[in-house]
Chains A and B, each alone.
Chain A
């Protein structure tokens, strides 16, 4: 299937320009709103260009995993509801959706940004489970970045509801203490098109890209990497992408900090 649009995107990139007028290493405008979904313990609505993602944090009390009896549990889930996509298949989430959730999950988990030991209520018996639900409202590309930003913003926004150990009841109307979140992992996604590296691909660019990679950082440390989509990167390209991820990660980290 010859896609003229795809060819156009690729031709533009060859000339170092992009379909929406950005520079190759320029991100789209990021808007972050937090706390707008009152039923959630924490929430964020992130707009990255026309990509729109709502993230909600819900908490519950569960038995811990046997190998981490003193730690809370993180569950990251993504839904790609049909309102945001003309081609919807009912049924369990597809591989794209699962990859999205798992990459965001690893960025948060591996960064150590959540102090899971503080989420232990009673060792081996009861710990807090933190559900991070990513709900895609519009997909104009780079969902991983938008979702990763939304997830950490929602976590920073979240307050723990009151838990009555005796009656085993959660009172969601009383949320006082903040979630113990100390760092801000930020994923940055770079696509390769016609041998050029571009930042934050929009949907048309994603359809034309050869390779994709997401690097999540906290300050000067990498905490997760995911190459996806096929294609390849050279060693040299990977080193440059790490630099980009750290530099842009820092900018976005500041932005998030200012919003929560």
Chain B
């Protein structure tokens, strides 16, 4: 056996203190296999050692929450015996190295997290952040990531219904690929990962194990240097075909009562799935690696325990049910093997070629994993109202804004995703939230992902609140009742106190907003160490929100539907230009305070709007976010092919009023006869509301300011993506 040298410890990403603690927990030196197991279980990714103390502060409960954080995904009750299961997860680093496969396997991974709990995935979302468009790598990364997401999701037959794409130079060396999966199950058929009881068979299902994604650093150690080319850390290649079979086979097995516990093999594959299942079940697990289906000859115990081969699951069955389960997996032409047994020792014991190659108390891997209260340096939020040129042509600016990389149409992206398969997509990409019908019912799920990283950079706390508020607002805007969120906390190196502050403030902001909006966090993921040239990315706590519509027939969309409708602005406008898209794209400045978020105003305004939609009084609604009022109106006009004429309120300055990014606002269009009633109702509810003008014509016109044809807007809006990605970039394929 290889002696563990300080270099090997270092290569495994463990500190001296952590290594000392491992020796103490074992009462001896670990061998290399054990060291590998500790290194992944104690990694930031698996142990949440930098964030755990902070995540504890998030609100995770509500009467409708059936399962909060701690399982593969969170679960909410959506009535009638239906449960909605969802989670978001990042695949940032792999996607930067190999965009197609990195993104594809990210999609596959999050789907497994959801269907391992018994749900059929019904919708996918993705939140993507790329470097500056003119950075030499960006084009290739965008086309690869989008093709990879489509390549996997389309084959799975799950509609990809929305997401976000943003560009900023802080992601030049570290893109973000966050994928969210939403699934449906019955509330009494939810599967958990606690491997309870001793003497139960542990079964391996899915694809064979290869040397995929084994931690690069470990290759330096002696045992792994025979053939460095062969042992190079390999990128994981996704196999959506096998995953589709795995999905169907798992759902078929789940229809029986043979399963005690089931868990996907994600990061750190066999190691983390077995340790976590044993940990949750309070049991021990013994594995015999000779039984593991292997793709390559001569795999070592180390390889098998650390492999991140995709499309695999681990399950604990009731004794005697192996044959029945095996028949199902054989039918779907998948590998199936009994590779171990649960015990009452609470130890993880691994055998290979007749020898015990690892024997560790499971608590040493889980409970005893390090937890850090990393130091942080509080940074004052950016402040002040930026200076802008009030004489600029508003309509020219509008055309420029709608044609800018962060605001233009994402059609080029979503047309590569099958967004209507499963025949329940009632709101396709392009609106405020996607809506998928609960199959066979009139209910719908509203789904959205949101975060505005530039706000988070200026003010991590307000910015994180804003991300939650925007998600909540997007769901209200289609008429959904916001139910719960998943989060994907993308930050820089937590060992740098300034980044750690962003994390601490960000989690606090999310917690505050979720509490105020009764919008609990039921699952999530942290991705730290995202850096470009030693500088952290913009803090990017992406929020994935899910809401419920009682009746999808009553859903609102952004498209203007009739000429002659009254346009009503809901919410207060102060003309906040700090950190706005307008300021960045038109004035070339990233300055000022992020817009403050008044959570009680959010609640009041959103409740009013949702109520109007639910009552069938509003069918056209858009929340105001990037680009403010005029951008929202332009989007509504382009979507509906109907223009509008509005006027500024007395004394309002055009640019701040039209482009300011004040929060808690919506623009609705209603038949003019209904306008007075709605305005009166808003007044009673204490919600600022004002009639701005009417719909009609083929232009957007602002009285005394200017006008622009919808055609000109649309041309700019649709042009950027195809022009940016057309021609020179070869679409990647698998």
The yes or no verdict on A and B being binding partners is no
